[in-house]
């Protein structure tokens, strides 16, 4: 049979069984106060007897809301995204919403998707995860509550959740500086992503604060893959053999860089310190265990959903920025620069250390 659901009891079935009008049944299932305890009891018996469950689609039709949120995301498999979604899902469900996650590859696909979701299917709100600044840069539709998870602020978007990438990168840089490193290379992510630009700024800020001239030849652009980390480390070392430390914009590239260093005969961390970003699963099981900057991707996802649901419940505030702090995790892929007066640099580092910037503290329930 094409429609296996032709057998569900309806409100009217319950009504006639209970000997009341269907409207009364509706009041009961919606927990309205204006129903006599006796009628309520009668109706509840009938509901139980028939195994009646309200038809959510019909409800959506009548109420104009679907109790569904959508999450548009580049893919479902990257751990950071998956964990954002899991966080968002957990608060959505706790509030009675379902979360529909849809991957998209580019701007046209995004545009088509958001129309299908927001206009055709009438989801109540959308979470958009999109770091791109190039032709994939998204615009949020108006007319539907939306929050963006991004890597930095954007003028055109008012509800936004982000990681403090700039400070995170600063922490990484200051950690390396404190260990006495002066020639530090950077294996960045794709320039077209906003968090990359933020991390680059945070990195350069910290170096500048320590009195180090920026050297653009020491910054190279990878594609987040371990392979790119591998190739780029070789490139950097060829370019500047005196390099003693590397800041990679994610852990995968850091891991690739470690492999390359080893293939070059460099010991990590004795000859070369390498720090990553993300604190991905098993980061502590690589060799050596990875020093990195942790982002709480689950909390970021929760923040997105919380913010969105707040928007749904009450009239939208002008703008809400939720910024979550990154946290340095020191393991064993970084070590003091050889032959350096560590104490001297530790002093420098201490004086450039600032507390993480929290634009607005965020509490979820």
278, 295 Cβ separation under 8 angstroms: yes
Tell which one of 17, 20, 99, 305 touches DNA (CB under 7 A). 20
Dihedral, 274, 278, 279, 280 alpha carbons, nearest 10: -110
Nearer to a second copy, 146 or 188 (CB): 146
Total of residues contacting DNA (CB under 7 A): 30
CB 66, min distance to a second copy, A: 7
Least distance in angstroms from the C-beta of 247 to a second copy = 19
Binding mask 22-61 for DNA (x = CB under 7 A): xxx-xx-xx--xxxx-xxx-----------x-xx--xx-x
List interacting residues with a second copy (CB under 8 A): 1-8, 53-58, 60-61, 64-66, 75-77, 79, 82-83, 85-86, 89, 93, 98-103, 115-116, 119-122, 143-145, 226, 252, 255-256, 259, 282, 285-287, 315
Q: How far apart are CA 181 and CA 247, in angstroms?
A: 11
Q: Which does 338 bind (CB under 5 to 8 A by kind): a second copy, DNA, none?
A: none
| Per-position DSSP letters for 81-132, written without gaps between them | HHHHHHHHHHHHHHTT-EEEEEE--SHHHHHHHHIIIIIIS--SEEEEE--B
Q: Binding to DNA by residue 103, rule CB under 7 A? A: no
With CB cut-offs between 5 and 8 Å by kind, which of a second copy, DNA, none does residue 89 bind?
a second copy
Is 317 strand, coil or helix?
A: coil
Kindly give, in sequence order, each residue whose CB lies less than 8 Å from that of residue 356, ignoring residues fewer than 6 positions away.
Answer: 164, 167, 171, 325, 326
Nearer to a second copy, 62 or 355 (CB): 62
Residue numbers 54-73 binding DNA by CB under 7 A: 54-55, 58-59, 61-64
The secondary structure of residue 291, as a DSSP letter, is B
The binder of 98, among DNA, a second copy, none, by C-beta within 5 to 8 A per type, is a second copy
Strands 327-329 and 320-324: unpaired
Q: How many Cα atoms occupy the beta-carbon half-sphere of 184 within 13 Å?
A: 34
**Contact flag: residue 112 with DNA (CB under 7 A):** no
Distance of CA 244 to the CA centre of its chain: 31
CB of 7 vs DNA, minimal distance in Å: 9
Tokens of 118: 């927001």
If the CB atoms of residues 21 and 225 are measured against DNA, the closer one turns out to be 21
Helix orientation angle between 11-18 and 22-29, rounded to the nearest 10 degrees? 110
Contacts to DNA by CB under 7 A: 8, 10-12, 19-24, 26-27, 29-30, 33-36, 38-40, 52, 54-55, 58-59, 61-64
């Amino acid at each position: 049979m094409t429609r296996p659901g032709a057998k569900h009891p309806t409100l009217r079935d319950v009504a006639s069984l209970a000997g009341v009008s269907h409207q009364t049944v509706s009041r009961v299932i919606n927990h309205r106060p204006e129903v006599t305890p006796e009628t309520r009891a009668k109706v509840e018996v009938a509901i139980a007897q028939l195994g009646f469950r309200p038809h959510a689609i019909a409800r959506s039709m009548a109420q104009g809301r679907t109790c569904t949120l959508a999450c548009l995301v580049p893919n479902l498999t990257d751990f950071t995204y998956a964990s954002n979604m899991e966080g968002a899902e957990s608060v959505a469900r706790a509030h009675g919403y379902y979360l529909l996650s849809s991957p998209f590859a580019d701007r046209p696909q995004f545009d088509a998707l958001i129309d299908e979701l927001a206009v055709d299917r009438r989801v109540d709100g959308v979470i958009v995860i999109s770091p791109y600044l190039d032709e994939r840069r998204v615009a949020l539709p108006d007319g539907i509550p939306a929050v963006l998870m991004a890597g930095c602020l954007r003028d055109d978007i008012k509800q936004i959740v982000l990681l403090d990438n700039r400070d995170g990168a600063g922490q990484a840089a200051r950690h390396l500086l404190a260990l006495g490193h002066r020639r530090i290379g950077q294996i960045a992510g794709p320039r077209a992503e906003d968090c990359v630009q933020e991390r680059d700024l945070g990195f350069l800020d910290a170096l500048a604060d320590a009195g180090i001239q920026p050297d653009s030849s020491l910054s190279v652009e990878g594609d987040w893959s371990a392979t790119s980390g591998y190739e780029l480390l070789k490139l950097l070392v060829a370019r500047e053999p005196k390099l003693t430390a590397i800041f990679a914009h994610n852990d995968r590239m850091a891991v690739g860089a470690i492999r390359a260093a080893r293939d070059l005969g460099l010991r990590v961390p004795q000859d070369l310190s390498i720090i990553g970003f993300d604190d991905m699963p098993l980061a502590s099981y690589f060799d050596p265990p990875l020093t990195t900057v942790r982002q709480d991707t689950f909390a970021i996802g929760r923040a997105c959903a919380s913010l969105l649901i707040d928007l749904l419940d009450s009239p939208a505030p002008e703008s809400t920025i939720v910024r979550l702090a990154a946290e340095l995790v020191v393991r064993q892929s970084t070590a003091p620069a050889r032959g350096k007066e560590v104490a001297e640099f530790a002093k420098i580092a201490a004086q450039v250390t600032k507390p993480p910037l929290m634009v607005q503290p965020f509490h979820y329930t």
